[in-house]
């Protein structure tokens, strides 16, 4: 099933890789390169899922997630933190900020789409 997925990522290489994997799997991809644009695009396009880097310019992913969770139209949208923050407590911090899940970087192209799509299955 084709889904509209917003990717909020400031690293060009990561954005390219994630976009390529998602489009190859048949999804529509929207791109934002900083937190403020991510919030704006999420509110404008109401994506089916948001893949959110945590370390972003202008507004970090924790703040982005908290803002989006206050919007009733986005309150139940899966927000998946995709981050190199992999220290003890980082996953919990992302979940406490409103993220639905957490995927660690570096992204593994062989398992990434399965990880992403598992969050769609979990919402049923």
* pLDDT tens readout for residues 53-73: 999 999 999 999 999 999 999
- CATH number given to 4-122: 3.40.50.2300
Mean pLDDT taken over the chain: 93
Is pLDDT at 26 greater than 90 in this prediction? yes
Q: Are 38 and 7 in contact (CB under 8 A)?
A: no
CA distance 58 to 35: 6
């Amino acid at each position: 099933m084709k889904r509209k997925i917003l990717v909020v990522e400031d690293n060009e290489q990561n954005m390219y890789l994630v976009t390529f994997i998602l489009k190859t799997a048949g999804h529509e991809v929207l791109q934002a390169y900083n937190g403020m644009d991510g919030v704006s695009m999420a509110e404008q396009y109401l994506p089916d899922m948001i893949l959110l880097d945590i370390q972003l310019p202008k507004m970090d992913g924790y703040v982005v997630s908290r803002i989006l969770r206050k919007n009733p139209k986005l309150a139940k949208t899966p927000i998946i933190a995709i981050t190199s923050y992999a220290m003890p407590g980082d996953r919990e911090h992302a979940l406490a900020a409103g993220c639905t899940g957490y995927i660690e970087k570096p992204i593994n192209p062989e398992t990434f789409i399965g990880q992403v799509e598992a969050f769609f299955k979990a919402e049923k």
